[in-house]
Every structure is written in structure tokens, then in C-alpha cells.
Amino acid sequence: MQSTIRESGQDRIFLCCVYIFLSVILLLIFYPLLYIVSSSFSSAAAVQSGKVWLWPIDPTLDGYVGVFKYNAVWTGFLNAIIYTVCGTALSVSLTIMMAYPLSRKEMFGRGVWIWGILIAMLFNGGLIPFYLVVKDLGMVDTRWAIIVPTALNIFAVIIAKTFFQNSLPKELYEAAQLDGCGDFRFLTRMVLPLSKPILAVLVLWGAVGQWNSYFNALIFLNSPSLYPLQLVLRQILVENKIDYTSMSASMDTQKLVVMQNMETLLKYSLIIITTIPILLIYPFVQKYFVQGVFVGSIKE
């Protein structure tokens, strides 16, 4: 089929250019990542003198050892896991609880809710009124502030609602109803098992978003013991504040050079270690995120 009409020379040159162009793009995207990985495994001296440009030089794991001794990173990691697991669980539950009733045409007053969520998507009170609400609820500087206020994601509700409407035929509900299945049971026994793809999208969206975000923690948290990983990273990577007393291994004061070397390596290793959880789920993410974009683009 493909070659019933042969490609002209001009077309082959063009196609060749496309391949070259994409290869250059690939290199531009890939190089910074490779540089960070290679540096994280190199000695500090090699990194600082600019010897590392492609592969690791004088391979060492010093940076990673440093990260493991850094208590604030551990606290941050643990907090991030708590926020990600609880935040995602709450967020996905709320999304389903909002989307399922709204996908049911039998529900009286459904239009009011739909307008309600559309208005909330278009308008918002802004940062300060939002902050004041969270403050009035007594959530500032508690774990609740990270998990609760942003749990309901309206965009996710719309996508889930569209999915329920398009992929669950009306006949399914009618049949279940004849067998004496109520709205609750229909949700747990029929809707959820049949909605695994959309659940995967929602979980991945929620988890990646929560893991990577620092804004809510920045505005709501004051105690370092509650900081999620991204806020700890901000101190180390962006503000260059490294707290050596936070490292459990006692270090001689004379080892200033060691400290400075550590400062360099710590950054590279931290970037790698923090990105690993995302990297592990990347195959799923890639598959389902794209699916999410498509589900969302289907209009009613």
C-alpha cells in the first residue's frame, strides 16, 4: 500500500532532514540528563575541574553516601511519601465520588453541580483568600494543609465523568437495577472494576503532581520536620543551604575541603535519587498520561 507511488528524491531528502532534526532534539534533551547522572558518579575534583562531560571520571559513590547521611533528606522523603500516598488516595476518592453521580443522567439537579464545578474551574478567590480559609480551619503548619485543601481536582472530575459516561453503557445500569443492585453497589461492583484505565490515570496524575509540588508546602508549612522532599531540595539545590550538622556522621572541622566536595556531589546525587521514584513508574506514566490526554479531549 505504502509504496504504490514512489517517493521523489526531494521527499527522501526532506525525510532525511526530519530524522536528523529529531536526532538533534533527542541529543539536546538527553545530554543534560546524562551529564547529571555521570557527574553524580564522579569524584568532586573531576566535576569541579570540568573533566566530566560525558562519562563518569574516577567513579565513586561518595555523593550517594552523603545523601544517605543527610537526615533532612530522609525526613523529607518520608514526608513526601506520606503526602503522596494520603493525598492521592483522598484526591482520587473525591474525584470518583464527584464524577460518578454526575455521570448518572437520572440524578436530579445534576446541572446545578456541573455549573458549580465549571464556575469553580474558571474563577478562584486567589492566593490570599485561599490561605485565610486554610488558616481559619487551623490547618496551617500541619500535615492536613498539604493533603486536604487541594484534594478536589476539578479537571480530573470532568475527565472521570466523561469516561464514566462514554464507556459504561446505560443498559448495564438497567440490567443491574433489575437484579436489585442499588446505586452504591453499582459503584463498587460495576463502575470501579470497569474503570481501571481511568483510575490509573487519576492515581498517576495525583501522585506525580503531589510528589513534585512544593508550593503548598512553601506557603503552609513552617516546621522543617513537616517539609516534603521538594522543599528540602529547594534549600540544598536552589538556596545552597547545606546543613552539615544534619549529617549524622561527625566530621572534623578541618575537613573543609571534604565538605565543599560533598556540597558539589550531594546536588547531583540528590537529583538522581529524587527522580528515581518517578523513573520507576515512568513506563506506566507514559502509557496512561497519553491516554488521559485523549480521554479528556473527547467531548460529550
Map the footprint of another protein across residues 142-181, applying CB under 8 A: 148-152, 154, 157
* Residue 293, C-alpha cell as written in the block: 490526554
Task: Find the part of the chain contacting another protein (CB under 8 A) among 20-28, 58-66, 158-166, 249-257.
Answer: 20-28
Least separation in angstroms between CB 59 and another protein: 18
* Torsion angle defined by CA atoms of residues 282, 284, 290 and 295, in that order, rounded to the nearest 10 degrees: -150
In the region spanning residues 25 to 44, those forming contacts with another protein, defined by CB under 8 A, are 25-26, 28-33, 35-36, 39
How far apart are the C-alpha atoms of 148 and 86, rounded to whole Å? 9
| Total interface residues for another protein by CB under 8 A | 94
Among 61, 78, 85, 132, binds another protein (CB under 8 A): 132
Among 78, 85, 97, 249, binds another protein (CB under 8 A): 97
Among 101, 192, 197, 199, binds another protein (CB under 8 A): 101
Least separation in angstroms between CB 22 and another protein: 5
Nearest to 94 by CA among 140, 181, 166, 161: 161
Q: Is 67 in the site for another protein (CB under 8 A)?
A: no
Q: Is 16 in the site for another protein (CB under 8 A)?
A: no
Q: Is 115 in the site for another protein (CB under 8 A)?
A: no
Q: Is 208 in the site for another protein (CB under 8 A)?
A: yes
Q: Is 224 in the site for another protein (CB under 8 A)?
A: no
How far apart are the C-alpha atoms of 74 and 80, rounded to whole Å? 10
How far apart are the C-alpha atoms of 169 and 186, rounded to whole Å? 13
Task: Find the part of the chain contacting another protein (CB under 8 A) among 66-74, 161-169, 227-235, 243-251.
Answer: 227-235
Least separation in angstroms between CB 248 and another protein: 23
Contact 67, 244 (CB under 8 A): no
Among 43, 230, 261, 269, binds another protein (CB under 8 A): 230
Among 75, 84, 162, 274, binds another protein (CB under 8 A): 274
Least separation in angstroms between CB 169 and another protein: 18
249-265 exposure pattern, b = at least 16 Cβ within 10 A, e = fewer: eeeeeeeeeebebbebb
Helix residue ranges, H only, the chain: 9-40, 44-48, 62-69, 71-103, 110-122, 127-136, 144-147, 154-167, 170-178, 183-185, 192-194, 196-212, 215-220, 229-233, 256-297
